[in-house]
Structure 1
Amino acid sequence: MQNKTPQLLILFRLLLGPTMIFLTYKFGNAIRTELVLLLFLGLLSDIFDGIIARRLSVSSEKLRRMDSQTDLVFWLCVSWCGWILNPEIIINHRYAIAIIFLMEGLTYIFSLAKFKKETCTHAILSKLWGVTLLVAFISMIGFGCAGIPFFLAVFFGVIGHIDVYLIIYFLPKWTHDVPSCYHAYLIKKGKSIKRNRLFNG
């Protein structure tokens, strides 16, 4: 059962997103504080599923791909909650949001076109974007405002996606857990790279 802990954490996050949408529709503004707490639980599950998998030596391509796709579903659900609670914020920043969605979609198009697989880089800048997303959604869902946290999420979202594009471009074959485009360049040159045991497999 211990070896299934990473999968259970991923499943927890997968179910958490739709649960948050249900609670938001049912309780509206009264559930804001609880949604923020659930956001933190989602983040913690994302952090520890990889750490535990590596400590148990059960980290695999399948698990990392499952983790990436679950992250996408979770953040889409959180975005939906933000829309339900603060439609005016989404409307006022629709162009910036559209750019991020477009860039995310392009990562899949580029990766599928080159490797016939979805991207699964778990890059450092992407993780940093995840942190800024968390702060932005805490600001939006918890307090009903965008401000600097939203700007930072968009900024690091753009930078992080450009990094992923370059990773896809440099990689000679599909590889998961590539820390940055520089590391992808090293792989292209046939050099070995050092991955951080805390963040990458």
Structure 2
Amino acid sequence: MIKKIPIALIFLRFNLGFILLYFSYIKIDHYNYIAILLITIGLLSDVFDGIIARKLNISTKLLRRLDSSIDQIFFIYVIVATYLQYPLFFKENWIWLILLISSEVLTYVVSFIKFKKEIATHSIGAKIWTLFLFATLVEITYSGNSVVLFQLCFWIGIITRLEIIAIILILKKWTNDVPSVFAAIRLRKGKEIRRNKLFNG
């Protein structure tokens, strides 16, 4: 039973995203507080599913691919829900948002072209960006706007997407959990890489 916890956390995140979108659509009372709670639980589930899977030695490639896919779906739910609540923010920042979303889509296009699989690099940079994305979404959800934090989120997002593309292009074969470009270079040379047991083990 305990070995089912990681996959349960992954699908919990999927369901939380759907619930959040529904609450946004029906304009539930106190939406901002409820949304922040659900987004926070979603982030924590993302952190702990991988940690628990690695501790239980069940962190398979299939599980990591599923984790990456659900992450994308969860944040799509959150972003659409946020748009329904605060469309003015999206109208004022549509150029930046299109660029950021396009960079994310590009990582998947490059991965599918080269490996016929979605990305699951789970790089350290991508994890850092997820925290900034989380903080930005919380700020928008609470106040309806974000300026400085959104700019940080944008540029860190672009830089980390470019790193992921570089990792994909460097690798000879599809590999999950590649912490950085430097790790990708070592893997390309057939060398071992250091992996953090908690975050990239």
Normalising to structure 1: TM-score of the pair?
0.97
**Corresponding residue number in structure 2 for 1:116:** 116
Q: What amino acid does structure 1 have at the position aligned with 2:60? A: S
After TM superposition, list the pairs within 5 Å mapping 1:56-135 onto structure 2: 56-135=56-135
Quote how far apart the aligned CAs of 1:29 are: 6.4
Report what 1:54 is aligned to.
Answer: 54
Aligned residue runs from structure 1 range 165-176, under 5 A: 165-176=165-176
Cα offsets for 1:21-64 (capped at 9, x unmatched): 10111235631111001111000000000000011111100000
Matched position secondary structure for 2:72: helix
Gapped runs of 5+ residues in structure 2? Answer: none
- 1:66-115 CA deviation, whole Å, 9 max, x = no partner? 00000000001110111011101001110111011111111111111111
Answer whether contact 2:24 2:82 (CA < 8 A) is retained. no
CA distance in 2: counterparts of 1:23 and 1:82, whole angstroms: 11
Runs of 4+ aligned residues of structure 1 deviating over 2 Å after TM superposition are 27-30
Aligned equivalent of 1:184: 184
CA distance in structure 1 between the aligned counterparts of 2:105 and 2:24, rounded to whole angstroms: 26
Check if 1:6 corresponds to 2:6: yes
Aligned equivalents of 2:29 and 2:171: distance in 1? 45
Q: Cα RMSD between the aligned structures?
A: 1.0
Matches within 5 A, 1:16-31: 16-28=16-28, 30-31=30-31
Q: Could you say what secondary structure the match of 2:195 adopts?
A: coil
The answer to whether the 8 A contact 1:163-1:180 is kept is: yes
1-structure distance, mates of 2:117, 2:24: 34
Tell me the TM-score normalised to structure 2 length.
0.97
Distance 1:11 1:100, change over 3 A: same
Contact 1:29 1:85 in 2 (8 A): no
Partner of 2:37: 37
CA–CA distance in 2 between the matches of 1:103 and 1:52?
A: 30
In 2: Cα distance, 1:183 partner to 1:58 partner:
22
How many percent of aligned residue pairs carry the same amino acid? 38
Alpha-carbon distance in structure 1 between the residues aligned to 2:181 and 2:93:
29
Paired AA for residue 61 in structure 2 = E
How many correspondences in the alignment?
Answer: 201
